[in-house]
Amino acid sequence: MKAWLRQHRQAFARALRRIGALNALVIGIALALPAGGYALLESLRAVAGRLTVQPQISVFLDAKRADVDALSARIKRDARVSRLRFVPREQALKELAAVQGLPELVAVLGRNPLPDAFVVTAADESIEPLAADLARLPGVAHVQADALWARRLATLARLARIGLWLLAGLLGTALIAVTFNTIRLQILTQREEIEVSKLIGATDGFIRRPFYYAGLLQGLAGGALALVLVAVTLALLNRVPAIERPSSGAVIVNGQNVGALKRPAIPYLRRNLGLVFQDQKLLYDRSVYDNVMLPLAFSAHPPKEAARRARAALDKVGLLAREKSNPIQLSGGEQQRLAIARAVVNRPSILLADEPTANLDAESARRIVEIFVEFNQVGVTVLIATHDQALVAQYGKRLLHLEAGRMQ
């Protein structure tokens, strides 16, 4: 038994000396290509899975607001319609300015050129007949089918996955061929040694053993190298979304260095911050109450406690009576107050607001700032990014100026 183990150790040592770095590199690259491609495709599939691929139709209206309800009821009666959402022209303009990043262009338009619209979600994928029927309705100016691009993206992802498996099969076949060819070359270079060993009594197992170990070690070395290549590549790609991290210095929030946080820890940091966005980022397919309840779902509060907190937050911003309304039915100022209620429902110690008074009239803007002042008076740290310095200066709070990336 000891002799057998000693022979295996010697065969392993001989095989270890025969491993070539070039062969390991070839194997590593051959394994890394499909593995890295699979990881990237999985990321793409996760993104594509969050995109709506349900057939949707945008119905642009040429009707008065008084006729919208009747038209909405008529469309809802159609069995081919799964869901209907009304987008008023004011909301469409606000979304255009936020998504496209063109607030200055929108400001110089003078008037809102966008029409009211319905977003119709079809019950099945045969949307052409439904779109044709909707185009014939009175008060409809234009009909456009959406989500085709999302279906194409999903199809391309499936095709890419099939291509990736084919590539993996080809590279796997090439990998086997490379490994066997390498062992064959080793056998040819040691032919004389093998013949002499047989003549003096070496068994076939003894002769083959070093080559078996050589193949095993080459595969392990190539696999380890492939793992390193994929890990390094993905690590470099994962740094791309972290553009919000400071290029120098440190940002300390509640004793934590934000720039040094690992990605899994970021959601927990955000749960302790109240975030108010310029474009509100409200969910228009949910009620006012459900929008405020959303952060509480992440925090796993008991249902009764969550409901109590949500209604308390709505009452604080004066929207408790509108809890069953849809955000579309709210004015611009009310929508911003709803965003504030959602931000404070988790009782954060820090409240961050990005241009909360943009696109609001003077009275609504004043009311929004007063709400922030009220929270500040009860111990909440409030940081507002705004261009309306005159409005904020009225309340005697500290003003900081950000110029060329430096705080003054």
From CA 116, how far away is CA 37, in angstroms rounded? 43
pLDDT digits (tens, 9 = 90+) for 260-278: 777 667 766 777 778 887 7
State how beta strands 252-253 and 256-257 pair.
antiparallel
pLDDT of 170 > 80? The answer is no
Phi, psi of 311 (to 5 degrees): -70, -35
Please state which of the ranges 22-36, 85-99, 274-288 shows the lowest mean pLDDT. Answer: 22-36
Which CATH homologous superfamily contains domain 252-407? P-loop containing nucleotide triphosphate hydrolases (3.40.50.300)
Q: Pick the residue with more confidence: 321 or 355?
A: 321
Please state which of the ranges 263-272, 314-323, 354-363 shows the lowest mean pLDDT. Answer: 263-272
Contact 295, 273 (CB under 8 A): no
Q: For 106-118, b where at least 16 C-beta lie within 10 A, e where not — what string?
A: beeeeeeebbbbb
Percent of the chain clearing pLDDT 70 (strictly above):
65
pLDDT band at 147, cuts 50/70/90? low
From CA 367, how far away is CA 348, in angstroms rounded? 21
Average pLDDT across the chain, whole number: 74
Domain boundaries, the chain: 1-49+152-238, 56-148, 252-407
Rg over CA atoms, the chain: 32
Percent of the chain clearing pLDDT 90 (strictly above):
0
pLDDT of 51 > 50? The answer is no
Q: For 305-318, b where at least 16 C-beta lie within 10 A, e where not — what string?
A: ebeebbbebbebbe
Residue range 311-336: average pLDDT?
Answer: 87
Contact 274, 344 (CB under 8 A): yes
What residues have CB less than 8 Å from 286, skipping those under 6 apart?
Answer: 294, 326, 327
Sign (positive or negative) of CA dihedral 82, 88, 91, 96: positive
pLDDT digits (tens, 9 = 90+) for 73-103: 888 888 888 888 888 878 877 776 665 445 5
Q: Which residues pair with 336 in a beta bridge?
A: none
Residue range 325-347: average pLDDT?
Answer: 86
Residue range 186-197: average pLDDT?
Answer: 72
The predicted pLDDT at position 282 comes to: 83
pLDDT band at 50, cuts 50/70/90? very low
Which DSSP category does 248 fall into?
S
The CATH classification number of 56-148 equals: 3.30.70.3040
Residue range 239-267: average pLDDT?
Answer: 64
